[in-house]
């Protein structure tokens, strides 16, 4: 949170603003960042394809929406778009920010490696996959007309490099032309015809160029491109993530979970080990492996558990308090 305070306080000072920035968090997950920013007086909302149970704990001042995000969704009233480990939305966020309004900024914290239309394919062996992906997302920001800044957050994660687009490399009167160039760039990425930053060309490393020239060079290419409207390029091949089913045993009916837990508890207590030798004394039960427990459960129960991630093990972990002494 301290990072956001510094970033946005500096921006308000530089621009002479008194009101606090508005935001939209795309792929907000548990919604905690949305809740914190809203509590600090920033107007905004979070959007995610799947609702989380914790959302109900935040209260009405925290605005969270359950829906899929499309590249053609624009947010003209937002000052900032946020992508915190936003997976397949990560490369799209600079594009959405650029098209939402000339003043819209963005913040992304890349984690999983996605291109515009699927998984990101490595093109270099001299860089780590993480570094190569950061360069790709930076390139997207440059093509979209942003001055891209890179920073390393002080968070407990190996993926802690963030990319920020706060200012533009073009005039507002050039927005329409840039919009067309973005569409062509995205179209070419789909055809895998764009070189990654720093890739060897003709046996020589490309010379350093200013950001704007480098972006234009990436878009122009060597072959003629068929004209395509930007909207067509954005939606072509992109599949918004559908609503994901909850399969960690937490959505199973309570009576089913209770019956399995009770059955396992009875199995563990069936071999009573009398600690004191006295009749009726407390017994700690015995230890059984998962396979031994599974052998005592009926096939319908096992079949139902196989549809959950982690199956029986996850269910027992979710109810660990029953089995801990």
Cα–Cα distance list, 298 to 21, 27, 37, 263, 320 (Å) = 57, 40, 49, 11, 22
Question: Which segment of 2-6, 7-11, 132-136, 139-143 scores lowest on mean pLDDT?
Answer: 2-6
Which is nearest to 108 in space by CA: 127, 89, 121, 122?
A: 89
What does the pLDDT read at residue 168? 96
Residues for the chain: how many in total?
325
CA max distance for the chain:
90
pLDDT for position 203: 37
Cβ-Cβ contacts under 8 Å for 36 (sequence gap 6 or more): 1
Residue 93 near residue 81 (C-beta atoms within 8 A): yes
Residues 108 and 83: their CA atoms lie apart, in Å, by 4
Binned at pLDDT 50, 70 and 90, residue 6 comes out as confident
Q: How far apart are CA 288 and CA 265, in angstroms?
A: 11
Cα angle, residue 143 at apex, residues 138 and 76 outer, rounded to 5°? 95
Measured CA to CA, the distance from residue 99 to residue 196 in angstroms comes to 23
Give the C-alpha separation, 267 to 280, whole Å: 18
d(CA 148, CA 141): 6
What does the alpha-carbon distance between residue 210 and residue 213 come to, in Å, rounded to a whole number? 5
Contact 112, 126 (CB under 8 A): no
Helix (H, G, I), strand (E, B) or coil at 154: coil
Position 312 scores a pLDDT of: 92
Distance CA 305, CA 315 (A): 8
**Who contacts 175 (Cβ-Cβ below 8 Å, separation ≥6)?**
102
The pTM for the full model equals 0.67
Return the pLDDT at 324: 78
**CA-to-CA distance for 107 and 127, rounded, in angstroms?**
23
Count CB atoms within 10 A of the CB of residue 299.
Answer: 7
- pLDDT band at residue 216 under the 50/70/90 scheme: very low
Mapping DSSP to helix (H, G, I), strand (E, B) and coil, where does residue 96 land?
helix
What is the mean predicted confidence (pLDDT) over 132-161?
94
Strand arrangement, sheet containing 23-26 = 64-66, 44-48, 23-26, 80-84, 105-109, 161-168, 146-152
Mean pLDDT of the chain: 82
Q: What is the pLDDT of residue 280?
A: 58
Angle separating helix axes 129-143 and 175-190, nearest 10 degrees: 150
Q: Is 198 helix (H, G, I), strand (E, B) or coil?
A: coil
CB 117 within 8 A of CB 95: no
């Amino acid at each position: 949170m301290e990072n956001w305070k510094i970033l946005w306080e500096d921006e308000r000072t530089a621009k002479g603003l008194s009101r606090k920035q508005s935001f939209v968090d795309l792929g907000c997950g548990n919604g905690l960042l949305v809740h914190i920013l809203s509590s600090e007086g920033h107007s905004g909302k979070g959007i995610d394809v799947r609702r989380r149970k914790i959302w109900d704990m935040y209260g009405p001042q925290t605005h969270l929406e359950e829906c899929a995000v499309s590249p053609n969704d624009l947010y003209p009233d937002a000052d900032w778009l946020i992508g915190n480990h936003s997976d397949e939305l990560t490369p799209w966020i600079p594009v959405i920010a650029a098209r939402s309004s000339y003043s819209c900024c963005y913040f992304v914290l890349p984690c999983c490696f996605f291109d515009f239309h699927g998984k990101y394919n490595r093109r270099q062996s001299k860089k780590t996959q993480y570094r190569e992906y950061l360069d790709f997302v930076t390139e997207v920001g440059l093509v979209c007309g942003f001055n891209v800044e890179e920073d390393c957050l002080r968070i407990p994660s190996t993926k802690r490099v963030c990319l920020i687009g706060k200012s533009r490399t073009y005039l507002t009167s050039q927005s329409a032309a840039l919009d067309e160039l973005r569409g062509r760039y995205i179209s070419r990425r789909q055809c895998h015809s764009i070189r990654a930053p720093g890739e060897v060309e003709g046996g020589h490393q490309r010379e350093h160029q200013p950001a704007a020239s480098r972006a234009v060079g990436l878009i122009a290419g060597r072959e003629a491109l068929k004209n395509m409207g930007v909207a067509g390029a954005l939606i072509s091949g992109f599949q918004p993530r559908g609503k994901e089913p909850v399969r960690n045993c937490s959505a199973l009916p309570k009576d089913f979970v209770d019956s399995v837990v009770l059955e396992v508890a009875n199995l563990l207590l069936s071999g009573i080990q009398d600690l004191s030798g006295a009749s009726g004394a407390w017994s700690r039960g015995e230890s059984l492996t998962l396979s031994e427990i599974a052998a005592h459960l009926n096939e319908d129960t096992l079949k139902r558990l196989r549809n959950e991630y982690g199956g029986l093990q996850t269910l027992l972990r979710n109810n660990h308090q029953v089995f801990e002494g």
